[in-house]
Amino acid sequence: MEETRNLTCIGCPLGCSIQVEMENDKITGIFGNTCKRGEVYARKEVTHPTRIVTSTVCVEHGIIPVVSVKTETDIPKEKIMDVMRSIKKLKVYAPVHTGDVILENAGGTGVNLVATKEVLTKTK
């Protein structure tokens, strides 16, 4: 099956529109990039695009009600919503420290979810 994927390179502000021609999931041509970086980017975007997911998780007894979190490394792009679903139900207890593992294997990606902020316990 032949298909053309249209991408915008994020390598620099030029933001070249890149067309990647594919045949049966194999890249047959990359056009529109101004430099090599665009090609590398396009290759990765069509074969295994990844992203870091950042969000928040509820905290009980914290000075603020949520703590910010991220996936420790990038995860496959198509798993973003799986990670979000696994975060949604979570609740942690203060204190939370930067780098604390909040959830192992988030959304079945094999990547841990870690806190990116310190949330101390509410005194009162």
Partner 1 sequence: MISSVDIVIIGGGPAGLAAAISAKKNGIEDVLILERDHQLGGILNQCIHNGFGLHTFKEELTGPEYAQRFIDQTEELGIAYKLDTMVMDISSSKTVTAMNTVDRLFEIKAKAVILAMGCRERPRGALNIPGCRPAGIYSAGTAQRLINIEGILPGREVVILGSGDIGLIMARRMTLEGAKVKVVAELMSYSGGLKRNIVQCLDDFGIPLKLSHTVVDIRGRERLESVVLAEVDSHGKPVAGTEEEYQCDTLLLSCGLIPENELSLAMGIKTGSVTNGPVVNECLETNIEGVFACGNVLHVHDLVDFVSEEAALAGKYAAEYVKSDGNHTDAGKEILILHENGVRYTVPEKIHINRMPDELTVRFRVGAVYKNCYISVYAGQKRILHKKKQIAAPGEMEEVRLSKKTLEEISELEQITVKVEET
**Residues in the site for partner 1, rule: CB under 8 A?**
7-10, 12-15, 34, 51-56, 58, 64-66, 68, 70, 77, 80, 84, 98, 116-118
Q: Which of 89, 92, 86 is nearest to 66 (CA)?
A: 92
Stretch that binds ligand SF4, among 4-12, 47-55, 87-95, 96-104 (CB under 6 A): 4-12
Interaction between residue 46 and ligand SF4 (CB under 6 A)? no
DSSP class of 95: -
Interaction between residue 35 and ligand SF4 (CB under 6 A)? yes
Nearer to partner 1 by Cβ, of 12 and 23: the residue is: 12
Would you report the helix, strand and coil content of the chain in percent, each value rounded to 5?
Answer: 20, 40, 40
Nearer to partner 1 by Cβ, of 23 and 81: the residue is: 81
| Residues 94 and 61: beta-carbon distance below 8 Å | yes
Please provide the distance, in angstroms rounded to a whole number, between the alpha carbons at the two ends of the chain: 65
Q: Which of 7, 9, 67, 111 binds ligand SF4 (CB under 6 A)?
A: 9
